[in-house]
């Protein structure tokens, strides 16, 4: 079933505007997706009708807010195929979710000489927490190399795996190149040597079917704002037995059962990891975002986005001076490129002058850019509301810019 793009676009108010005198063409979806009206309405409704703290009040507003908050947890559980809602922890984003695992699981289970494996493709959020953990524990961080096309070198990954490997923390889909890693194969190989696996799903959860039970990952981290939901909200999925064994991340209200000056006993999961007042409105407004994806159909979305990616590649593949970056066989809808003799920032500015929003720079993947010998790239990333007509305008603009520098 194909999607009705015009009907979908009508749900997103922000898309219907001009930028620099041109219709907005928003191709920066890997950074953040736009929000449908239902998400905006949910945010407003909470503050206008239900604003109250959750889990603690006996009054009607608190009850309504708590019920809606927990309904979102149930929706997230269903969306990623978790066994139970207690395995769903709300955080501030993918970054905090990964840091939570590093500070709790990592601090408890990793010791001097233990090894953590990550890949060259990783976002800084999946590098820095592990570097900090290694500095604290004496564990060793090892890097899985990639090909020039941006794909993991499987044989090198196998060589790195050993009984010393305690954790593999791997991006499911690269934000910079779009590469889709073979998550299930990685997880099975890691489990075979006794290692746990954290999957960075910041990009994959919006483009691919992600079923944590089928994958058998131990942890999954992702952000609401890349799934048409609000900013400032993330999710950490963890297997119950792991979450129960891990110490709390932060101390304060909500994560406790009983507090005395002599001793504190901690709450059950997921509340043990949700100290303080959470982003209540954002959590509540995340549910209509998930409902939008589910009703549209993940397969339909993926097919549409992949069509846009292939169309962009087709239109630009023979344009002189345009250099694609990241040509993996399996990709999400990310087209990363450079124009010969031009800085990515300059290309981005020229596209912005035409109302075309793209991302430029290293995309928080500086080690990856160093591996590729680049300062950065221009990145166009597509979403369900983008159209073939927009891809044509984008490709024409890129071709014109390239012609100016590569006559």
Query: Active-site positions?
Result: 364
- Please state, as a whole number, how many other Cβ atoms lie within 10 Å of the Cβ of residue 85: 17
Contacts of 232 (CB under 8 A, 6+ apart): 92, 93, 225, 279, 282
Which residue do the tokens 């993991």 mark? 152
> In the beta sheet, which residues pair with residue 171?
200
Structure tokens at 206: 């919006």
Which residue do the tokens 């041109």 mark? 22
Return the sign of the alpha-carbon dihedral for residues 300, 302, 308, 310: negative
> In the beta sheet, which residues pair with residue 323?
338
Return the H-helix or E-strand segment holding 359.
strand 359-361
Contacts of 159 (CB under 8 A, 6+ apart): none
Q: Is the peptide bond before 270 cis (omega within 30 degrees of 0)?
A: yes
């Amino acid at each position: 079933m194909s999607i009705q793009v015009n009907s979908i676009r009508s749900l997103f108010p922000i898309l219907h505007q001009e930028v620099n005198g041109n219709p907005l063409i928003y191709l920066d979806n890997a950074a953040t997706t736009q929000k449908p009206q239902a998400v905006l309405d949910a945010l407003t409704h909470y503050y206008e009708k239900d604003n109250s703290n959750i889990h603690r009040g006996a009054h009607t507003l608190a009850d309504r807010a708590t019920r809606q908050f927990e309904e979102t947890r149930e929706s997230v559980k269903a969306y990623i195929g978790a066994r139970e809602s207690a395995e769903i922890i709300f955080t501030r984003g993918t970054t905090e979710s990964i840091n939570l695992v590093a500070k709790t699981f990592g601090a408890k289970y990793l010791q001097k000489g233990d090894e953590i494996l990550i890949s060259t493709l990783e976002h800084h959020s999946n590098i820095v927490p592990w570097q900090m953990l290694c500095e604290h524990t004496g564990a060793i961080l090892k890097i899985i190399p990639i090909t020039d096309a941006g794909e993991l070198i499987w044989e090198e990954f196998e060589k790195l795996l050993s009984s010393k490997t305690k954790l593999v923390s791997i991006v499911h889909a690269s934000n910079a190149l779009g590469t889709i890693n073979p998550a299930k194969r990685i997880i099975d190989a890691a489990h075979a040597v006794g290692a746990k696996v954290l999957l960075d799903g910041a990009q994959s959860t919006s483009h691919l079917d992600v079923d944590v039970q089928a994958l058998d990952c131990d942890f999954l981290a992702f952000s609401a704002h890349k799934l048409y939901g609000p900013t400032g909200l993330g999710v950490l999925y963890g297997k119950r037995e792991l979450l129960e064994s891990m110490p709390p991340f932060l101390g304060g209200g909500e994560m406790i059962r009983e507090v005395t000056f002599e001793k504190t006993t901690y709450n059950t999961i997921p509340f043990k990891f949700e100290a303080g007042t959470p982003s209540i409105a954002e959590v509540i407004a995340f549910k209509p975002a998930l409902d939008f994806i589910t009703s549209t159909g993940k397969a339909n979305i993926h097919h549409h986005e992949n069509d846009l990616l292939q169309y962009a590649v087709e239109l630009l593949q023979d344009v002189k001076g345009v250099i694609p970056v990241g040509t993996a066989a399996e990709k999400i809808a990310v087209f990363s490129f450079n124009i010969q003799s031009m800085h990515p920032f300059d290309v981005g500015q020229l596209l912005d002058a035409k109302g075309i929003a793209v991302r430029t720079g290293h995309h928080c993947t500086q080690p990856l850019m160093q591996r590729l010998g680049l300062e950065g790239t221009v990145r166009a990333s597509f979403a369900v509301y983008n159209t073939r007509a927009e891809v044509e305008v984008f490709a024409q603009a890129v071709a014109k810019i390239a012609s100016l520098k590569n006559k």
